A and B are shown apart, each in its own frame.
Chain A
């Protein structure tokens, strides 16, 4: 008999007023008993709609059935067939819009906590199983992957399992991409990311850091003298967007990328770190996505007394995951929605001392389907802040498209692909993730990596047939 509890087994987590002063993980994870109890809420329904909501097509009812029986390693093996990064996805996927959003239990009550179960299984495996995965038999073909973020790691993992010799070229000094520089420690501990990266190395994937493709080597060199038969470009998001309002160059205005990179990748949150970061009292984060939530919660943890999220639409329109918004609210982040900055104000030293904002109201839906924010006349007011963090999205990195002849990009600079398989305008050159879509989610980037791996395998097989 399934467990008919209408609610998910709650996730143990750090108290908001404790965690907003430290960088330790917020959600602590299920115990084995909690996992089994939650897994028993799954009805094992016939149509398993959850699976259709998963961009990497994990056999969700299959792994949950194993968890319900207490067979955690068997559950892990089922997930591992589809996902290269289960410990990551269990933490950062927007499950409410994906698997859990489709769960039958969710129609009347809360859906099964699929994300929490995935995380539990991945963590259990990491803590209890120490045998290296079996190395696949080499098939004699070489593929290069550009970028060691979620998309590149996924494609590399899948190709390695098929027997390809994969080399990942990473621009930064460490593999992981946004999982290392962007998502903070308290949401995704970095040793978990590195553990997943180690898992790929055990499969035989080579990772070369400090390699900026387009500069030190070109795509043509990789396909030519380096002997790779295909290349997958997963170079990720690029340059941060700014608003184009006066005062954005004042000291104390950061892009979220810079702020988060200083905090996460360069470890400014650790005492005695060599990485400088502004010591803020009042911070405004402009934007309403997950990146904005991450930046706001980091600023709070670094000691800012007041942290605002400034967003031009309403609470209902925030693009961030609901859970992230709730966590931010619990931690004392103040949401100034229907508010838009029009100028950053500086003092004589050129430092931020405040910002002028206007109030907004929502009009008719725009092309994106969201209601368009309109400025309320005469609503200008000033907000006292000493730091501003712009979390407005990014435009793709220009380094590869500008050095690869024949690689088509759209007017925003996103690489154009043929469709879901990721084939670009160049034969044997594939692309996926943020480099194609612009800033999106970890799991969509992983899904693109998976599709590209399949397409690359098919193309190389066809060529050699």
Chain B
């Protein structure tokens, strides 16, 4: 059992939890992930680490409520416990030696982009942050990004905050202006990462993407998280989750990501109805 020492709502569908897990906090690095199970019979949910405090012995996770599993996780109160918490899994994002990096986050993916931006900032890299959201209500972590980015551009699809448009717009402008990034690191919806790669490829700017496919065990056993990268089968849990964006087969990953959509939707509706009853 792992204690939830802090819980806060970042926006109506995104929650942050700070979990007491001293051993994981000691080893965690930006880009790695954990697997959490809310209760004894819950599903195993992989979530990329959103932050850690080695001294306090805590690891934070930020999740969007998308299915029955994350909905159940969100019912747990501050001061309560998650049943299982395992990690740090996967390889850390490679940031050593990078001097000038653009970090592009989309939606809840910004939660994962943040520790990478912070780690880059801490090693003295110049960090340009581009974060995008559907609208103002879904904006998260702006202050935190501002604190670690030399320049931050906030985008919303509808223009209700920051600049109107998609993240690739300022990214391409920056590249054209001669920003001369060593690397672009992007985390967000698959479709966004696909277009980030489409934007950077003509300029040949190395682009690292953080993949979050369906997983079961997350430790290199089930093979559910396989992706095609450079024509080869790779496993996100042990070979990733970061991959060279130019090599990833995004269309295939997007197809595979919808495998259980019907089941998820159904489970969510069922869970929603249950919660409605509890409220009434």
Contact indicator A249/B222 (Cβ below 8 Å) = no
Tell me whether A251 and B255 are in contact in the complex, defined as CB-CB below 8 angstroms, given that A212-B86, A399-B220 are known contacts: yes
Contacts of B42 in A (CB 8 A): 274
Contacts of B89 in A (CB 8 A): 212, 215
State the main secondary structure of chain A at its contact with B.
loop
- Distance (whole angstroms) from the CB of A177 to the closest CB of chain B: 10
Complex: chain B residue closest to A272, CB-CB: B270
Contacts of B68 in A (CB 8 A): 274
Complex: chain A residue closest to B260, CB-CB: A276
Of residues 31 to 62 in B, which have CB atoms within 8 Å of A's CB atoms? 37, 41-44
Contact indicator A212/B223 (Cβ below 8 Å) = no
State the main secondary structure of chain B at its contact with A.
mixed
Complex Cα–Cα for A236 and B235 (A): 17
Contacts of B88 in A (CB 8 A): 215-216
Q: Interface size class for chain B?
A: 35 or more
Assess whether A31 is interfacial by the CB under 8 Å rule.
no
Complex Cα–Cα for A249 and B214 (A): 13
Contact indicator B233/A242 (Cβ below 8 Å) = yes
- Count: A-B pairs, CB below 8 Å: 113
Complex Cα–Cα for A319 and B84 (A): 37
Of residues 210 to 248 in A, which have CB atoms within 8 Å of B's CB atoms? 210-212, 215-217, 236-240, 242, 244, 248
Complex Cα–Cα for A215 and B117 (A): 23
Which one, A238, A251, A398, contacts B258 given CB within 8 A? A251
Assess whether A404 is interfacial by the CB under 8 Å rule.
no
Contacts of A399 in B (CB 8 A): 219-220, 238
Complex Cα–Cα for A249 and B223 (A): 11
Contacts of A254 in B (CB 8 A): 224
Tell me whether A211 and B86 are in contact in the complex, defined as CB-CB below 8 angstroms, given that A251-B256, A399-B238 are known contacts: yes
Tell me whether A262 and B264 are in contact in the complex, defined as CB-CB below 8 angstroms, given that A181-B221, A210-B85 are known contacts: no
Assess whether A301 is interfacial by the CB under 8 Å rule.
no
Contact indicator A216/B27 (Cβ below 8 Å) = yes
Which one, B72, B221, B224, contacts A238 given CB within 8 A? B221
- Distance (whole angstroms) from the CB of B220 to the closest CB of chain A: 5
Contact indicator A397/B221 (Cβ below 8 Å) = yes
Assess whether B122 is interfacial by the CB under 8 Å rule.
no
Which one, B23, B83, B226, B263, contacts A249 given CB within 8 A? B226
Which one, A216, A249, A267, contacts B256 given CB within 8 A? A249
Complex: chain B residue closest to A350, CB-CB: B255
Total residues of chain A contacting the partner, CB 8 A: 41
Assess whether A255 is interfacial by the CB under 8 Å rule.
yes
Contact indicator B223/A257 (Cβ below 8 Å) = yes
Assess whether B87 is interfacial by the CB under 8 Å rule.
yes
Contacts of A250 in B (CB 8 A): 255
Assess whether A172 is interfacial by the CB under 8 Å rule.
yes
Contact indicator B220/A262 (Cβ below 8 Å) = no
Complex: chain A residue closest to B235, CB-CB: A239
Tell me whether A397 and B220 are in contact in the complex, defined as CB-CB below 8 angstroms, given that A217-B23, A276-B260, A276-B263 are known contacts: yes
Tell me whether A216 and B23 are in contact in the complex, defined as CB-CB below 8 angstroms, given that A209-B84, A274-B267 are known contacts: yes
* B233-273 interface code vs A (CB 8 A; 1 in, 0 out): 10100100000000001001001101110011001000000
Assess whether B228 is interfacial by the CB under 8 Å rule.
yes
Residues of B within 8 A of A (CB): 23-24, 27, 37, 41-44, 68-69, 72, 83-89, 216-217, 219-224, 226-228, 233, 235, 238, 249, 252, 255-256, 258-260, 263-264, 267
In the complex, given contacts A171-B219, A173-B84, A274-B42, what are 5 additional A-B residue pairs having Cβ atoms less than 8 angstroms apart? A209-B84, A215-B88, A216-B24, A240-B221, A399-B220
9 A-B pairs in the complex with CB atoms less than 8 angstroms apart: A210-B84, A212-B87, A216-B23, A240-B222, A249-B228, A254-B224, A258-B222, A275-B43, A350-B256
